[in-house]
């Protein structure tokens, strides 16, 4: 059986007391359609309980009252552990530099939490200056950091990620407005398998990603947008999903995965689902991401840099 993912056993989540829709920065948000606070809280609690029941550690970050999107913890920053290092920087978090100013208020509060929990915080850009990077666009897979860019993350950020972390970054240009973060179109399942919706990417990027996934499970645009199924988390051989099309469930079960569905539909009103609500704290350089001298970038149609 293919080796399971070694990360995804420890998450940070932001409790949903401030969650609401105050503005529209993606196609799903409409301030005239508000989530039900009680229902949202119950769904969030069920997700936390489900993850903990599978042995996952969940740390809870307090919500910032004036930051309604902070509940989507995946986009607060990219954690990178360095077990081969000693001293400051062994556990670091590269803080996101949000594309939209409405979300930048989250960064100082998130940074304070990370630093109080032993993480050294760094930045690519901040307060509207420098390259934009949102960590919902970044996943380890096959020893590389796969990073979606275009709608939220700048292509310029790829080189800075590679240099700062000393790893290979594989860029994929996102072109679909409804899948504006990588985590809406791509979900690593184990060492060889990943869910992927090629419609999210330009033609070259889709072909390049399919080439590096030994055994892709290809999602149609309808499956990805209609069920949010790529926005899932994986714990060993269990996939915790907001919904699962029958065809996809059959594939997953054939591969030995158990599918567990947790309804988080209130959070879809803000443009996020299960993966968006969870930020992994156990991605490790030298294990999940291979160390590359000086770092390098692979972008379809360009030479490695």
Q: What is the pLDDT of residue 303?
A: 47
State pTM to two decimals: 0.95
Asked if the model's pLDDT at residue 13 lies above 70, the reply is: yes
Q: What is the three-class DSSP state of 54? A: coil
- CATH number for the segment(s) 10-21+32-298: 3.75.10.10
Average pLDDT (234-245) is 98
Examine the pLDDT at 205 and tell me if it is beyond 70: yes
CB 168 within 8 A of CB 144: yes
Q: What is residue 84's predicted lDDT score, i.e. its pLDDT?
A: 63
List CB contacts of 76: < 8 A, sequence separation 6 or more.
12, 14, 61, 70, 95, 96, 106, 107, 110, 114, 135, 279
pLDDT at residue 75 in the model: 98
Dump pLDDT digits (tens) for 252-273: 999 999 999 999 999 999 999 9
What are the distances in angstroms from CA 127 to CA 53, 102, 106, 205, 282? 38, 11, 11, 30, 27
Residue 44 CA to residue 285 CA, distance in Å, equals 30
Q: What is the mean pLDDT of residues 210-233?
A: 97
E-strand spans in the chain? 10-14, 57-61, 77-81, 91-95, 120-123, 138-141, 144-149, 168-173, 186-188, 193-196, 215-218, 233-235, 238-241, 258-261, 279-280, 296-298
Residues 6 or more apart whose CB falls under 8 angstroms from that of 179 comprise 185, 197, 199, 200, 224, 225
Q: What is the Rg, in whole angstroms, of the alpha carbon atoms belonging to the chain? A: 18
Name residue 133's beta-bridge partners.
97
Task: State the pLDDT at residue 23.
Answer: 98
Residue-wise pLDDT tens digits, 78-133: 999 987 655 555 789 999 999 999 999 999 999 999 999 999 999 999 999 999 99
Q: What is the pLDDT of residues 26-66, one digit of tens each?
A: 999 999 999 999 999 999 999 999 999 999 999 999 999 99
What's the mean pLDDT in 207-232?
Answer: 97
Compute, in degrees rounded to 10, the torsion defined by CA atoms 222, 201, 127, 138.
Answer: 90
């Amino acid at each position: 059986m293919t080796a399971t993912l070694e990360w995804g056993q420890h998450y940070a989540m932001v409790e949903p007391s401030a969650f609401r829709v105050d503005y529209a920065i993606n196609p799903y948000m409409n301030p005239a359609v508000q989530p039900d606070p009680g229902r949202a809280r119950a769904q969030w609690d069920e997700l936390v309980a489900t993850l903990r029941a599978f042995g996952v550690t969940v740390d809870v970050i307090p919500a910032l009252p004036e930051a309604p999107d902070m509940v989507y913890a995946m986009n607060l920053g990219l954690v990178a552990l360095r077990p081969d290092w000693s001293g400051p920087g062994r556990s670091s978090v590269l803080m996101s530099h949000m594309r939209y100013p409405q979300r930048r208020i989250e960064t100082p509060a998130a940074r304070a939490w990370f630093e109080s929990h032993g993480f050294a915080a760094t930045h690519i850009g901040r307060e509207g200056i420098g390259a934009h990077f949102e960590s919902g666009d970044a996943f380890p897979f096959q020893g590389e950091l796969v990073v979606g860019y275009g709608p939220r993350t700048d292509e310029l950020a790829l080189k800075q990620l590679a240099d700062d972390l000393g790893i290979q970054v594989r860029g994929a240009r996102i072109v679909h407005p409804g899948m504006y973060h990588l985590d809406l179109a791509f979900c690593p399942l184990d060492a060889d398998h990943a869910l992927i919706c090629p419609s999210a990417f330009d033609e070259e990027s889709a072909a390049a990603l399919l080439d590096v996934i030994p055994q892709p499970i290809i999602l149609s645009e309808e499956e990805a947008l209609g069920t949010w199924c790529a926005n899932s988390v994986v714990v060993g051989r269990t996939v915790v999903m907001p919904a699962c099309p029958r065809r996809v469930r059959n594939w997953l079960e054939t591969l030995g995965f158990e599918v567990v569905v947790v309804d988080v539909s209130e959070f879809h009103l803000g443009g996020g689902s299960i993966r968006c609500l969870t930020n992994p704290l156990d991605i490790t350089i030298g294990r999940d991401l291979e160390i590359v001298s000086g770092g390098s970038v692979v972008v379809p149609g360009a030479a490695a840099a």
